Homo-oligomer: A and B are copies of this chain.
């Protein structure tokens, strides 16, 4: 597993298809990671509009045709090649599984949404440490008190991921991630978790907590779990998402998203 950063996307997906369950932060460095949301076709417009209205948490990278299990940026099987999935009925999680073959429906449209794991390679190269990579744990994610702009039947709070950054490197982290708007871009909030409605950093809503050391500032990026938070609040009859932190590793380079 020491080579996880060097694995090609197809090789990583094979391991997940064979049953490996692990957060994907640090895997396949240089390749774009993506959040998954699959919804029935009759809910697809609401979600695509929700994403258009909330581009920071929901940057859409690709959309499949109904029933398709591959995508133009994902040359694998979306039902099996992520490490773990969550299945929702009427907004309630009814299963967390390592494949969704048994739950698949021919009317499902898959949305692949940019993930901030993508820019972690660039953060490391710029000298910004990434704590959850050091500890080998999942990134901490929090529901905020900021509501997304609703669209049709979909509404919900913005979810954020958090990385502690030494104060003298916060500006560097902003500068580096600003260049990747398709994978959430610049932070949405720096310091002051309470203003986001996050009362206890040690109790994330998704993922695992990390230590914030003296001299470090908690920096928050919009997170692609936001669509699942909207599913939980808005209760569509059926939906599938990735398990938070357990992403789709795509065949598109992270540099494809760089802006000048």
CA distance A53 to B45 in the complex (A): 14
Residue A63, interface by CB 8 Å: yes
The listed residue (B45, B179, B259, B260) touching A48 by CB distance below 8 A is B45
Which residues on the B side are within 8 Å of A49 (C-beta)? Answer: 48, 63
Residue A52, interface by CB 8 Å: yes
Residue A70, interface by CB 8 Å: no
Chief secondary structure at chain A's binding surface:
helix
The listed residue (B44, B52, B259) touching A259 by CB distance below 8 A is B259
* Residue contact B260 to A175, C-beta cutoff 8 Å: yes
Contact with B along A217-260 (1 / 0, CB 8 A): 00000000000000000000000000000000000000000011
Contact with B along A42-78 (1 / 0, CB 8 A): 0011001100110000001001000000000000000
Residue A181, interface by CB 8 Å: yes
Residue A178, interface by CB 8 Å: yes
* Residue contact A52 to B60, C-beta cutoff 8 Å: yes
Question: Which residues from 164 to 195 on chain A have a C-beta closer than 8 Å to any C-beta of chain B?
Answer: 175, 178-179, 181
The chain B residue with its CB closest to the CB of A45 is B45
CA distance A53 to B63 in the complex (A): 8
**Least CB distance, A171 to chain B, in whole angstroms:** 12
CA distance A164 to B53 in the complex (A): 35
Which residues on the B side are within 8 Å of A181 (C-beta)? Answer: 259
The chain B residue with its CB closest to the CB of A149 is B72
CA distance A60 to B260 in the complex (A): 20
CA distance A181 to B53 in the complex (A): 17
Known: A49-B63, A53-B63, A259-B259. 5 other contacts (CB 8 A): A48-B52, A52-B60, A175-B260, A178-B259, A178-B260
